C-alpha cells in the first residue's frame, strides 16, 4: 500500500532522518524554529510505517503534558490524516495505526506512567528540560528489550542537565550521531525575525536559543566565547596520550580545599590537555601515587607560588615535601588573578582538550564566571569561588608557568645577545 504524508523535509531535516536510521543514539542540538518537533514526529511516523517488529511502539517525550498536547499532538494528527483507520486517543495522546504500530506522546511530568513499557524507538524533544532520572531509569530500560533507538533533540539550557551530558557523550562515542544547527548557518529563520528576537532576548538568551550556546545563559562567563570557539574548531575532542612526547602537569594545590591537576603534552605549538584529576583533603603522597599510576612519562610539574610556604607540621616547604616524593616542581610566577586569566585567554586557542578524560575540567571551564551584583548592577571583579575554581586555578598555573618560560627564554636570549652570542 502506498501512503503519502504531507511532509517534505527541509535539506537539514532530510539529512538527519538518514542519519537517525543509521545510528541507535543521537543528539541533535538545533536552534529554535529549526523544525525539530515537525521532524521528530515525522520520523516516528515513518518508523511506524517501516518497522517490521510485532506491534512496534514508539514514543515522543516532551517536558510537560501541555507541551506535548499543544504542539506535538496537532502535528501528529496533521501529518497522519492521510493514513487509513488511524485511532486517536485524545486523553492518552496515543495514536494507533492500521498496521498495529503505535505512537504515544508522553511527558516527563509523570515518569511512573512510562515505567514498564517497551519501545522500539523514542525521541525526547526539548531534552534539556527532561529529567536525568526519566532517561536513565525509564527510557533506557524501555528500549533495551528490542534494542530500540533514542534521539535527544533540544536547544541548550546551560550545562546542568541530561542534554548537556549526552551532548558531551555524543562527542566521545564514535557510533553516536551528533548534530548541531545554528540559525546563522541554516538560514531557516529570516533575518528580520532573528533581529527582532535578538532585541527582545538580549545577546545571552539569543545565543542560547538560536546559536546553540551552552554558555549563553551563564551570566558573566569568563571563557565562554573561547570555549565555544574551541568546540567549533573541534579542539574539544579525543586527544589521546601520545607516548612519543612526555607529559607535564599543572597544579592548583589546596590542603583543606580541593587539589586539581591538569596533564598536558606540548606538541609543537599546541598544548594537548589529555587528562585531569581532582580530589580533596589528601596529602601529597596521594597525588604522587596518582601520577605514578597514570603511567605517563613525565617531564615537568608546574605548581602555584604557595608551594613555597612552610608547612607548620613538617617545618619544610611544600615544595620540599613534594621533592622528597619525587615531584620536582617549577613554581609559576605570582600574578594577579586578572593577569592569570589573561594568560589563560592567550593560551586557550593553542589547546586541544580530551573530551573523554577531561569532562570535569571542561565543565569547570564553561562554568567559571563572575557573579552579578544585582545591587550595584555590575559583575564582581573576582571570579565566583565554587567547584569550578580549582581546575581553573590549575589552568592559570599552566598558563602563567608557560608564560614564565617564554619570559625566561627572552631573558636568556637577551643575556646571550648582550654577551655577543646569537641563539
Ligand atoms: N519540512 C517542513 N516544511 C514546512 N514547514 C516546516 C517544516 N518543518 C518545520 N516547519 C514549520 O516550521 C515551524 C517551526 O517548526 P517546529 O518543528 O515547531 O520548530 P522547533 O520545534 O524547532 O522550534 C513551524 O511553523 C513548522 O510548521
Ligand atoms: Mg519544538
The DSSP-derived string for 286-312 is HHHHHHHHHT--EEEEEE-GGGGSBPT
Which of 133-164 are b and which e, b meaning 16 or more Cβ less than 10 Å from the residue's Cβ?
ebbeebbeebbeebebbbbbbbbbbbbebbbb
For the chain, give percent helix, strand, coil, nearest 5.
45, 25, 35
pLDDT tens by residue, 273-329: 999 999 998 888 999 999 999 989 999 999 998 888 887 777 888 889 889 989 999
DSSP per residue, 186-198: H--S-HHHHHHHH
Nearest ligand to the CA atom of 67: 2
At residue 47, the pLDDT reads 97
pLDDT at 60 over 80: yes
Contacts of 255 (CB under 8 A, 6+ apart): none
Identical topology for domains 11-217 and 238-414: no
Tell me the average pLDDT across 46-72.
Answer: 94
Reported residue count of the chain is 423
Distances (CA, A) of 65 to 78, 102, 104, 113, 117: 19, 18, 12, 12, 18
The CATH superfamily holding the domain 11-217 is P-loop containing nucleotide triphosphate hydrolases (3.40.50.300)
Q: How far apart are the CA of 31 and the centre of ligand 2, in A?
A: 10
Instruction: Confirm or reject: Cβ of 17 under 6 Å from ligand 1.
Output: no
| 62 DSSP β-pair partners | 107
pLDDT tens by residue, 391-417: 999 999 999 998 655 544 444 444 444
**Placement of cell 529549526 in the chain:** 34
CA separation for the pair 113, 107 (Å, rounded) = 9
CATH of 238-414, one of 3.30.420.280, 3.40.50.10420, 1.10.3720.10, 3.60.21.10: 3.30.420.280
pLDDT tens by residue, 343-388: 999 999 999 999 889 989 998 998 898 887 777 778 888 898 888 9
Ligand 1 atom at minimal distance to the Cα of residue 31: 22
Distances (CA, A) of 174 to 193, 315, 356: 36, 52, 12
- Locate 77 and state its grid cell: 494528527
Q: How far apart are the CA of 33 and the centre of ligand 2, in A?
A: 7
Global pTM value: 0.75
CA–CA–CA angle 181, 4, 35 (5° rounding): 15
Q: Three-class SS of residue 106?
A: strand
Mean pLDDT of the chain: 90
pLDDT at 162 over 60: yes
Helix (H) or strand (E) holding 355: none
pLDDT tens by residue, 103-153: 999 998 877 778 888 999 999 999 999 998 899 999 999 999 999 999 999
CA separation for the pair 5, 374 (Å, rounded) = 52
CA separation for the pair 126, 138 (Å, rounded) = 17
Is the Cβ–Cβ distance between 280 and 391 less than 8 Å?
no
pLDDT tens by residue, 182-218: 999 999 999 999 999 999 988 888 999 999 988 766 6
Q: Where are the domains of the chain?
A: 11-217, 238-414
Helix (H) or strand (E) holding 328: none
At residue 81, the pLDDT reads 94
At residue 403, the pLDDT reads 65
Instruction: Confirm or reject: Cβ of 36 under 6 Å from ligand 1.
Output: yes
Amino acid at each position: 500500500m502506498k501512503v503519502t504524508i504531507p511532509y517534505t523535509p527541509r535539506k537539514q531535516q532530510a539529512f538527519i532522518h538518514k542519519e537517525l536510521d543509521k545510528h541507535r543514539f543521537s543528539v541533535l542540538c538545533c536552534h529554535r524554529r529549526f523544525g525539530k518537533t515537525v521532524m521528530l514526529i515525522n520520523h516516528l511516523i515513518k518508523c511506524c510505517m517501516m518497522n517490521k517488529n510485532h506491534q512496534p511502539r514508539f514514543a515522543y517525550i516532551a517536558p510537560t503534558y501541555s507541551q506535548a498536547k499543544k504542539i506535538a499532538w496537532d502535528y501528529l494528527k496533521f501529518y497522519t490524516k492521510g493514513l487509513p483507520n488511524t485511532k486517536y486517543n485524545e486523553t492518552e495522546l496515543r495514536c494507533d495505526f492500521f498496521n498495529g504500530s503505535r505512537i504515544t506522546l508522553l511527558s516527563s511530568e509523570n515518569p511512573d506512567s512510562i515505567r514498564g513499557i517497551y519501545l522500539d524507538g523514542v525521541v525526547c524533544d526539548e531534552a534539556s528540560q527532561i529529567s536525568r532520572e526519566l532517561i536513565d531509569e525509564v527510557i533506557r530500560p524501555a528500549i533495551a528489550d528490542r534494542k530500540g533507538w533514542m534521539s535527544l533533540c533540544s536547544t541548550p539550557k546551560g550545562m546542568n542537565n541530561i542534554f548537556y551530558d549526552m551532548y558531551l557523550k555524543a562527542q566521545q562515542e564514535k557510533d553516536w550521531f551528533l548534530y548541531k544547527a545554528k540559525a546563522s548557518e541554516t538560514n531557516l529563520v529570516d533575518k528580520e525575525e532573528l533581529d527582532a528576537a535578538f532585541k527582545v532576548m538580549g545577546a545571552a538568551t539569543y545565543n542560547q536559543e538560536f546559536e546553540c550556546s551552552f554558555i549563553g545563559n551563564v551570566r558573566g562567563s569568563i571563557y565562554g566565547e573561547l570555549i565555544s570557539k574551541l568546540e567549533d574548531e573541534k579542539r574539544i575532542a579525543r586527544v589521546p596520550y601520545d607516548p612519543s612526547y612526555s607529559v607535564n602537569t599543572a597544579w592548583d594545590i589546596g590542603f583543606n580545599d580541593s587539589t586539581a591537576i591538569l596533564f598536558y603534552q606540548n606538541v609543537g605549538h599546541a598544548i594537548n590537555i589529555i587528562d585531569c584529576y581532582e580530589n580533596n583533603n589528601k596529602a601529597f603522597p596521594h597525588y604522587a601515587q596518582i601520577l605514578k599510576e597514570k603511567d605517563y612519562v613525565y617531564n615537568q610539574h608546574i605548581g602555584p607560588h604557595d608551594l613555597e610556604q612552610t608547612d607548620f607540621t613538617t617545618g619544610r616547604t611544600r615544595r620540599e615535601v613534594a621533592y622528597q616524593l619525587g615531584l620536582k616542581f617549577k613554581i609559576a610566577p605570582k600574578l594577579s588573578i586578572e593577569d592569570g586569566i589573561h594568560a589563560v585567554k592567550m593560551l586557550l586557542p593553542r589547546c586541544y582538550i580530551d573530551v573523554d578524560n577531561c569532562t570535569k575540567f571542561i565543565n569547570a571551564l564553561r562554568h567559571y564566571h563572575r557573579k552579578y551584583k544585582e545591587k550595584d548592577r555590575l559583575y564582581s571583579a573576582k571570579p565566583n569561588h565554587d567547584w569550578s575554581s580549582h581546575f581553573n586555578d590549575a589552568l592559570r598555573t599552566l598558563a602563567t608557568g608557560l608564560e614564565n618560560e617564554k619570559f625566561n627564554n627572552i631573558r636568556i636570549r637577551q643575556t646571550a645577545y648582550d654577551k655577543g652570542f646569537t641563539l
